[in-house]
Every structure is written in structure tokens, then in C-alpha cells.
Structure 1
Amino acid sequence: MKQIVGRDGGGIAVPVARAKDARRSNVHWLTPRTWRLWIDVGLRGHTPGEIPEVGWLGRLEDRNVAFVRTLTSSGLRRAEGGSLLVFEVPARQLDGGRYYSGRVAAGVTRSKKPRTFYVAADAVGEIEAYVASSRAWAVRRAQRQRLYQQLPEIRLVTEITRRVNPVVRWRNQAGVVGERKLNDLTVADRMLLYHDGSHGPEPLWLWLNECGLPFHVHSWDGVFATANRRCERVLTPSNRMGLDPHQVFAPYATPHSARHSFALYMLVVLNTLMDQKYGLSPEERRDFRQLYGDPWFMVQTLLGHASRETTVDRYLAPVADLQLRSMLAGASEPVPAPMPELDRTFARIAKESVGIQDVDMRMAPPSGGLR
């Protein structure tokens, strides 16, 4: 908390670095199965019958799916996930694991502080598949056209130091050298970074457009808008078209709703781990929380919020007053790894809360579908 001067001239306490876009009207949650439906229909071109639509081209489908899966499994903001460089993506390990950790550079975070993020292993796999397929194809085509040599400015990276606070060193087309700490690079700086590949310059920016150039962070809004329109067209029954304000039939998502949904998901999962997987008694659970913090604090840390109020009152408002332990009751034994899907748990939370989208395709009317 920090002290500021109020309207009456007196001092009042307010949260530090409260998220400016965390107004309740901006908050959207989707349950995991609803995200899967949104991705399949909106990004993969599936019909309600779970098969690709005839004639579906799937332009950059692998890129779009990888990006959304990255956001939903990591809680990264649009600018944080959208400005990743290729070497900042965690590498999968031979010994496996459900999540891998990476670092968000300070220059792209809202707080201007670096932090650790965790991303699901399958999302990392989808990024790797994208890098090896459509991204590699776009880069190679741009190289054959000598597109990168025609750009007004590129910074060809010559070295990234191996330090606690790495330094990026480069030279531009005129041979002028420069350097900056990785944590100090802005989104605009990152878009200029290239490295010398086997066939010429290659962007270090992870997400590229079809021309092989960096895909602007704000352009992801268009990807989400297109997917939302497709979900509405495909999933809304003809007699309810334009009459589904609460997204009963067709889910609606934004880049930031991925972050909201991640917060909700992690709260449920962390409560499940505490209450079921470890088989803790009430006394052991209290000791565990005293040592490591309760799930609310853990989610706050994962999101990088300076204020607990933002996490609890904004991102997790629908479940702030619910006893999650009672929702998750029923398992007499610890949950084995990997944790099974929690669709029924999220369906119950959505039913008892306001603002959480949960679309159950088993209940979809037969008249709903592709038109």
C-alpha cells in the first residue's frame, strides 16, 4: 500500500501498482473446456462435430493456437507473451514435466520488474512445432526475397552475455555497435533484434506474420476477434443469433481473459493440490500455508501483482467468497499425477458464480451448427 492525497486533502492508502485495466467490466473467465472449444472452433476451424470445416485453410493456425495456449497456461499478459524472443521460450527436458519455467524481462512487464513464469509442457511443444514448421517456412521465404536486408533498421545480435542480468550486444546495417541489458529492452527494441542464421538474418522475435516479419503485439486482438466471430457463427443456433449476450452457446475471449482464466484455474488447482494430492490434515494444511503461503498469495505471485486486492477482488471476484475446499471434496485418496481434468469442478464454480463462461457441448441443441 502507499499513501496519496485524497480529494479532501487528507491522506489515504491505495494499492501499489494496481492493474489499470482490471476493471470488473474488463474481466472475463472461461473454464478449461470452454477454452478448448474456443480454440478448436475459433482457431482450428472445427465444426460442432469436432472435425475441420470443409475448405478450412488454417492460415497460421499453429502459431495462433500456440500463442493462446501459452497465455492460458502461463498467465502472461498480451505484451509479455507477444514479445517473447525465441531464446526465452523454456526448452522441454527429456525427463518430462507438466510445467517449465522461464523469465519475463522487466522491460515488457507493467511493474518493470522481471519475474518467473511457468508454462505448460504441451504449450511449449506447440511453440516448438510452430517454430519448426510455418515459422521456419516464412523466415526462409523472406530470406530468399532478401526482405530483411531491405528493412530500415535491424540489429544483428552478436552476443548475449551469460550473467545474472544478461546484456545483448548487436551491430546494425551500418556496422554501428550497441548494447543494452536484456531486462531494459522494450517491445519496440525487441522487434529489431535478429541473429545470423544459416541462410541469412533471422528474427529473434518469436511470433511472425506470413511475410516472416514480427507480428505486432496489438495485432493479436484481431486474431481473437476473428475467432470470436467464427465461434458465434458456428455455435449459435440460427434462432438465437444475436440473442446470446451471456455467451451460453458461443464463448467470447480476449487476450486478457486468458490471464483471468489462468488465475481461476491455478486457484482451483493449488487448492486441489493442498487438499487432496498431499492428503494433508487440517493441522498440516495450516502449517503448509504458514510456510509457503496460501493459494491466493501463490496466484498473486504467478500473475506478478503488487497488490493482493487486484488478485482477489478483480481477477478472482466470482470465487472470492466461495469455499473451494467444499467444492473439491469427494476424493478420498490423494490425486495422482498428472492431475486429471477438473471440468466438473469448473462447471460447478461457473454455475454458482457470475461472469464465468462454461459451454457444455453435450447440451448444445441439434439446430446449432455451421451455416
Structure 2
Amino acid sequence: MDPLLSLYVQSPGFRRHSVETKRNYATDIALLLTFLSSRGRSWREAMARDLEDYEHWRLRAAENPVRVGGSKWNRELAAFSGLFAWAVKERWITRSPVATRQVLGRRGEVLTVATAKAKDSRPSNVHWLTPRTWRLWINVGLRGHTRHGVPERGWMGRLEDRNVAFTRLVTSSGLRRLEAGSLLTFEIPKLTLPESRYCYGRIAAEVTRSKKSRTFYVSTGAVGDVESYVDSSRAWAVRQAQRAGRYDRLPERREVTEVTRGTKPRVRWCDQDGVVGERELARLTWQERMLLFTEGPEGPEPLWLWLNEQGLPFQPHSWEGVFRTANQRCERVLTPPEHLGRDPHQVFAPYATVHAGRHSFALSCWSC
């Protein structure tokens, strides 16, 4: 146990990070500690040369079988910069091993940035899909269809309607994963614009990246999928959880007593100990939203929209697993068996050669 690292994770700067950022930074720092330990040094004894060697190992060393890209390294560097900057400020070390320089921000403020950022970083590897390919991905990856358009034998599809509804919601509205994944049941858009195929809703400030509330628009078809999910598999999961007493065994639960109206609605609740509380709806974090319940005809019901098979809130980062499984299924179902494990240039080169020859022959005949 390192007491200084324990102090760092309790510092205001680290505690302001989101849960996912905290987890990522902790993993990055742990890897650096392992590297420094192999050299017989603690993190307080790290020098600039140690960071340079670690950067080379992570990015370019031929001996490293799991090298990372520029974007990943830049995130790790941000984690190291935060740790060492805190240690310098608190006078636990005299100088940070991370090379930095000072620049002027947009508002004229002086900012300190790391100079060892990777130059080949890119935020994402985006590939656009045609509408037909997108529908194929949904049918095969989420609905369990075969390449011939029929459900595969043995496909269970217990959460099929939930996954399809969430996917159509985010693609129709442009909401981020956390924004759509932390919606409450009463936040589902219901107001239809006149002579329009779209509805509009309001996304809470606390779950956005900019921490500002905004209006979003979503197609009525996507809203219909969400409502069908609420009335079918979600309702069934809630009933099963009520009968099993899962909600009664939760360590913390807040029963909502009122949601006020107006431009800044507030949520009022009473917890299991009888303590009454309230907070502006836009300022509820996604963790606090998971605790909100309402009293239904057969007992407490979660207000969190997306639930797992046990009727408990499905955490926003868990959608990564859903999409990863869908991608793997599409790869398994749609890749021809004779092409598995082969060079794509070897697979498609004969096709291109034949068609190029046909076009050349046609052009020769036309010129004659």
C-alpha cells in the first residue's frame, strides 16, 4: 500500500474525473509502476529518461508484442502528468519527469501541456456504413439472423428488443452512449412535432460531456421501439425481480415521491431510512439515477430505463460488450468460410482482374 497514491486518488483533481476515467488512469499508472519497479525505483524516484524509455517500449519497441497506438499513449501520458503534477504541487517531489511546456489558452490563461505526445494519434477509426449494411448489422448482430435473413436455429434473443431499441435510439438521435444509457423512463420523448416524424426530448446536463443540458431529436420509429421494449421484456424483468425480492435487498434505493415541472424540474425522494432529499433533475449523476425507484402496482420499480435480465440497471459502459458481441457475430456469420484467415488482397484480386479485363475488352471494341 502506497499512502501517497492513496492521497492522490482522494485529491480534488482526481475525484473530479468520471468513473471510467478514474478506472483508465488507475490502470495506466499501475503499468508504469510495474515498469519502474523492474528498474528498482518507486514512482517518486522516476526521471525523465525512465519516461522516455517507457514511451519507447509502449509505442515502438520490437520486443513488445502488445504495442499501443498514439491515442492510447496520449491518454497514459495524461494520467502520468496528473499524478506527478499533484506530487510537485504537494511538494512530495521536486520536479516532474514528464516533459512539459506552457502555452496560452483560448481565454488567455497559461496552460501546461506534455511535450511527449504521440504525433500519429487519431481519435477513432471511423468507417461509415450504408443504410443497407447498417440494417444487416442490426439483423445479424443483434437479432440473430443468418446471412439468408432468417433467425438462426437456437437463437435465444432474450434481450434482442432492448439492444435493438437502444441502437436505433442512439443512431436516430445522435446521443452518446452515456447520455442514452442513463435515461429514465419518464424522459422518453413523447411530444411529436406537428407534421413531423420526429419527437424531441431533453438530455440532463450532468450526463453530457459539456455538462450542459440540450434538446435532442429522435425518430418516432425509434421511440416506438423503446416503448415496445418497456411494455414487453422490461416489464417482464421487473416482475421477475419483484417476485424474487431483488429490489428489497438493494443496499441503497431512493423512492421518488415527486418530479416537479418547469424549466428546471427537481426530483424529490425518500430513501430506505426515511431520509428525504431532492436535487435538480439535470444535476443527477448517472450513478444517482440508478438509485431512483417508483412505487408500482406490485412493488418498487426502477426508473432507470435499460435493465438487464435480473431487472437491475444496465450500466452504460456495459453496452460496449453488447456491440462487441454483435461485431463478432457478424464476422462469424457473414465472412465466407473459404476466405477466413486469408489475405483480403488475395481474395479480391482475381475478381478485380477479371472485371478489369472485361472493361478493357469493352473499351477496345468501342474504340474499334
Q: State whether TM-score is above 0.5.
A: yes
In 1, the alpha carbon distance for the partners of 2:182 and 2:147 equals: 33
Identity of aligned residues (%): 66
The residue that corresponds to 1:87 in the other structure is 186
The residue that corresponds to 1:158 in the other structure is 257
1:174 alignment partner, one of 273, 278, 281: 273
1:46 alignment partner, one of 133, 145, 154: 145
In 1, the alpha carbon distance for the partners of 2:102 and 2:247 equals: 56
1:31 alignment partner, one of 103, 109, 130: 130
The residue that corresponds to 2:321 in the other structure is 222
8 Å Cα contact 1:154-1:193 kept in structure 2: yes
Shift of 1:203: 0.4
Shift of 1:26: 4.0
1:11 alignment partner, one of 98, 104, 114: 104
8 Å Cα contact 1:74-1:118 kept in structure 2: yes
8 Å Cα contact 1:70-1:123 kept in structure 2: yes
In 2, the alpha carbon distance for the partners of 1:160 and 1:244 equals: 58
The residue that corresponds to 1:365 in the other structure is none
Mean Cα displacement is larger for which, 119-128 or 30-39?
A: 30-39
Equivalent residues in 2 for 1:343-362, closer than 5 Å: none
In 2, the alpha carbon distance for the partners of 1:136 and 1:191 equals: 17
| Residue 129 (1) aligns with residue 228 (2) | yes
Shift of 1:85: 0.4
Shift of 1:79: 0.2
The residue that corresponds to 1:97 in the other structure is 196
Change (3 A) 1:26 1:193: farther
| Residue 108 (1) aligns with residue 207 (2) | yes
The residue that corresponds to 2:298 in the other structure is 199
In 2, the alpha carbon distance for the partners of 1:215 and 1:244 equals: 39
| Residue 73 (1) aligns with residue 166 (2) | no
Measured against aligned partners, the alpha-carbon deviations of 1:251-290 in whole angstroms (never above 9, x if no partner) come to xxxxxxxxxxxxxxxxxxxxxxxxxxxxxxxxxxxxxxxx
Change (3 A) 1:132 1:245: farther
The residue that corresponds to 2:333 in the other structure is 234
Q: Secondary structure at the match of 1:211?
A: coil
Measured against aligned partners, the alpha-carbon deviations of 1:311-330 in whole angstroms (never above 9, x if no partner) come to xxxxxxxxxxxxxxxxxxxx
- Segments of 4+ moved more than 6 angstroms: none
Shift of 1:10: 5.1
Shift of 1:31: 2.5
8 Å Cα contact 1:108-1:187 kept in structure 2: yes
Shift of 1:30: 2.3
Change (3 A) 1:98 1:174: same
Unmatched segments (≥5 aa) in structure 1: 1-6, 15-21, 250-371
In 2, the alpha carbon distance for the partners of 1:201 and 1:99 equals: 32
Q: Residue type of the partner of 1:72?
A: T
Q: Residue type of the partner of 2:333?
A: V
Equivalent residues in 2 for 1:249-328, closer than 5 Å: none
8 Å Cα contact 2:205-2:214 kept in structure 1: yes
Q: Residue type of the partner of 2:278?
A: E
* TM-score after normalising by structure 1: 0.60
Q: Rg larger in 1 or in 2?
A: 2
The residue that corresponds to 1:144 in the other structure is 243
State the Cα RMSD in Å.
2.5
The residue that corresponds to 2:352 in the other structure is none
* TM-score after normalising by structure 2: 0.60
Q: Residue type of the partner of 2:318?
A: S
Change (3 A) 1:212 1:237: same
Pick 1 or 2: higher relative contact order, CA cutoff 8 A, min separation 6.
1
Q: Residue type of the partner of 1:155?
A: R
